[in-house]
Amino acid sequence: MNDTFLKACRGGKTDYTPVWFMRQAARFLPEYRRVAAKADFLTICRTPELAAEVTVQPVDALGVDAAIFFSDITTTMVPMGIKLEYADSKGPYYPEPLRTGADIDRLTVPEPEEGLVFVYEAIKILNKELADRVPLIGFAGAPFTMSAFMVEGSMSHAFTKTRSLIFSEPGLFHRLMDKVSRFTARYLKAQAKAGARALMLFDSFAGMLGPKDFIEFNFPYLKSTVADLKTAGVPVIYFGLGQHGALEQIGSLGADVIGVDYGISLDNAVSRLGSGVTVQGNIEPYVLLQPEMPMRQRVAEVLAQGRLARAHIFNLGHGVPTNTPVENARAMVEMVHELSRK
C-alpha cells in the first residue's frame, strides 16, 4: 500500500508530499455522474456498493494518495433520533430541527451499529478494493457542526437560531454538545474498527463563533472527542473551516493533522499552530480552473509554505469546485508529486 499519506499524518519523512482533495468524489467526475444518474444522493450514501464505488473513483481518475469515504455529515445523526430528508434546492436537511430542551432531551446516544450498518459495510468493501492502493479516511461532522446543523435544520448564512440558543440558553447547548460528541466518537471508532486508516472531523461551521465562544462551546467537546478517537490507534485529522482566531488552541487539540482553509496563508497557520502537528491544505480551489503555468506557481508556493510544518499533506482549502475539468485536477496531483520530489 502507498503509505505516504499515513506517514505524513504522523509527522514522518516521505519521498514526496501526499495529496488528496476535499470533495474529490463528486459531480465533476463523469464516473460519479453516471452513478448519480441511477441513484439519488442519499441512496448512494446508504448503499454500501455505490458508496464504495464512488469512493474509489477519484483514486483511479486523479491518482490521489488517499481515499475518503463517500458520505454526508448529516446522515450520521439519524440514529440519534432526528429525521433527514433531501431536496435538490438545499441538499440534505432536517425537517424537524431542534428548538427546545425537550427536543434535545429526546435525542439518544445509541450504539454505533444502530442505523449506520451501511457505513461499516461500505468500509469493508473498500478494505478489499483499496487493499494494495491507498489508505481510506473515515469521517464525520465535528460535534459543533452537527449540533448547529440540527438546530438550524438546513444550511444557514448566519446561524441565527444556533447563536440565539447559545447566548440565551447556554446550558441547553452544552447538553446537546455532550450528546453529539459522545455519539460522534462512537461512530468514528466503529469506522476505524471496520477498516478506516485515519479519521477526520469536518467542522464546517467552526468559524460561526468568535474565538472566545469557540473555546467555550466547541473546543472542550472537540478535545474529548479527539482523545477518545486516539484510542482507536489511527491518525486523527481536524478541519475547522473559517476558525482563524483560535489556531493556537487548535494546535493543542491533540489531533495529528490540522486542515487549513484558504482564508489564511499556510505559513501564517503553521507559525500559530506550532510544530506538533502535520498541516493539510490549503490551495484556493478555483486555482483548479487556471491554465498550467499559473497553477504550477501556486502549487509551488503552497508546497514551500508547507515545508515549514513537521509534515504537509497537500489539499485544497475547501471542496473541489463543480466546474473543475478532470484533467486540471489530475494535473494538480501530478504537479504536487513532481515539485515536492525536488
Provide, for the chain, the percentages of residues in helix, strand and coil under a 3-state DSSP scheme, each rounded to the nearest 5.
Answer: 50, 10, 35
CB of 321 to a second copy, least distance (A): 6
| Cβ atoms within 10 Å, residue 49 | 11
Complex with a second copy: residue 231 or 322, whichever CB lies closer: 322
Task: Using the minimum distance from each CB to a second copy, give the nearer residue, 16 or 286.
Answer: 286
Closer Cβ to a second copy, 34 or 90, answer by number? 90
Nearer to a second copy, 22 or 229 (CB): 22
**Amino acid symbol at 109:** V
Query: Which residue lies nearer to a second copy by CB, 229 or 329?
Result: 329
Q: With b meaning 16 or more CB within 10 Å and e meaning fewer, what string describes 21-44?
A: bbbbbbebbebbeebbeeeeeeeb
The CB-of-326 to a second copy minimum distance in angstroms stands at: 16
What's the min distance (Å) between Cβ of 308 and a second copy?
16
**Minimum Å distance from CB 157 to a second copy?**
7
Q: How far is the CB of 167 from a second copy (least distance, A)?
A: 4
Q: Looking at beta carbons only, is 63 or 263 nearer to a second copy?
A: 263
- Residue 299 CB, nearest distance to a second copy (Å)? 13
* Chain centre distance of CA 273: 19
Nearer to a second copy, 184 or 328 (CB): 328
Cell 475539468 belongs to which residue?
A: 325
Rg (CA), the chain: 19
The CA distance from 260 to 257, in Å, is 10
Q: Count H helices, E strands: the chain?
A: 15, 9
Q: Which residues contact 124 (CB under 8 A, 6 or more apart)?
A: 48, 194, 195
Q: Is the peptide bond before 282 cis (omega within 30 degrees of 0)?
A: yes
Minimal distance, residue 131 CB to a second copy, in Å: 36
Q: Which residues bind a second copy (CB under 8 A)?
A: 155, 157-158, 160, 163-164, 166-168, 207, 209-213, 242, 244-245, 262-265, 268, 282, 284, 286-287, 289-290, 301, 317-318, 321-323
Alpha-carbon distance 95 to 273, whole Å?
Answer: 38
